[in-house]
């Protein structure tokens, strides 16, 4: 398990700045603070050989503080190592861009900004990639209504009821318990 060895090396290098490590089904996840995120990612690229960024995504932990979590999936080109790096982000914080480490992070970060409203400091072209410029909402936030929001641009955006609203695969935003928010926890009558 080379990624497990890399997690050990990162713990040695960064010490207490690595907040937690998780191994689940032979997948390695490393959790760090937002202030150390860029340094950890750079170490992975420059010293541990993670040449490729597979994905940059975000999670909305609506009701928690900090609300958001950034998730970076990185790997080696020969796919011998895969590592997940996470950091929590408050609503008013900016995430350091990883485009200087992996240029391929560009569109991923733009999508996170567009859909969740998380800003990236140092990004070379942080603008919407899916929604139109000037759209005032962030559609993947859990407080965004499934029915959408009224649009003043009817030719550009659909604002009718979303087809999954109330369906069996839709989670419920908010609440104290993440298990109860899951669709399979609902009682079907």
Query: pLDDT tens digit string along 113-122?
Result: 999 999 999 9
Measured distance CA(56)–CA(182) in Å, rounded: 23
Query: pLDDT tens digit string along 72-84?
Result: 999 999 989 999 9
- Cα torsion 127, 128, 132, 136 to 10°: value is -90
The domains found in the chain, sorted by start residue, are: 2-133 (3.30.460.80), 145-189 (no CATH)
- Preceding amide of 107 cis, omega within 30: no
Query: pLDDT tens digit string along 78-115?
Result: 989 999 999 999 999 999 999 999 999 999 999 999 99
Query: pLDDT tens digit string along 132-160?
Result: 888 888 999 998 887 777 666 655 555 55
Q: Tokens in use for 130?
A: 């899916």
Average pLDDT, the chain: 87
- Whether residue 54 is predicted with pLDDT greater than 70 in this model: the reply is yes
Look at the pTM and tell me if it is higher than 0.85.
no
3-state secondary structure of 15: helix
Residue 7 and residue 22 in contact, taking contact as beta carbons nearer than 8 Å:
no
Measured distance CA(85)–CA(108) in Å, rounded: 15
Q: Tokens in use for 14?
A: 């960064």
Predicted local distance difference test score (pLDDT) of residue 134: 82
């Amino acid at each position: 398990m080379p990624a497990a060895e890399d997690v050990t090396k990162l713990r040695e290098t960064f010490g207490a700045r690595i907040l937690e490590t998780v191994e689940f089904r032979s997948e390695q996840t490393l959790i760090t603070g937002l202030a150390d995120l860029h340094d950890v990612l750079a170490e992975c690229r420059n010293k541990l050989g993670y040449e490729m960024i597979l994905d940059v995504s975000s999670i909305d932990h609506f009701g928690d503080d900090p609300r958001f979590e950034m998730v970076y999936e990185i790997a080696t080109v020969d796919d011998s190592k895969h590592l997940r790096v996470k950091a929590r982000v408050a609503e008013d914080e900016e995430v350091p861009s990883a485009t200087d480490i992996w240029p391929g992070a560009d569109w991923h970060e733009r999508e996170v900004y567009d859909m969740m409203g998380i800003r990236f400091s140092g990004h070379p072209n942080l603008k919407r990639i899916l929604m139109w410029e000037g759209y005032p909402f962030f559609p993947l936030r859990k407080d965004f209504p499934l029915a959408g929001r009224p649009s003043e641009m009817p030719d550009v955006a659909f604002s009718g009821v979303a087809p999954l609203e109330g369906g069996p695969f839709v989670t419920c935003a908010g609440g104290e318990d993440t298990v109860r928010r899951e669709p399979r926890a609902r009682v079907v009558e």
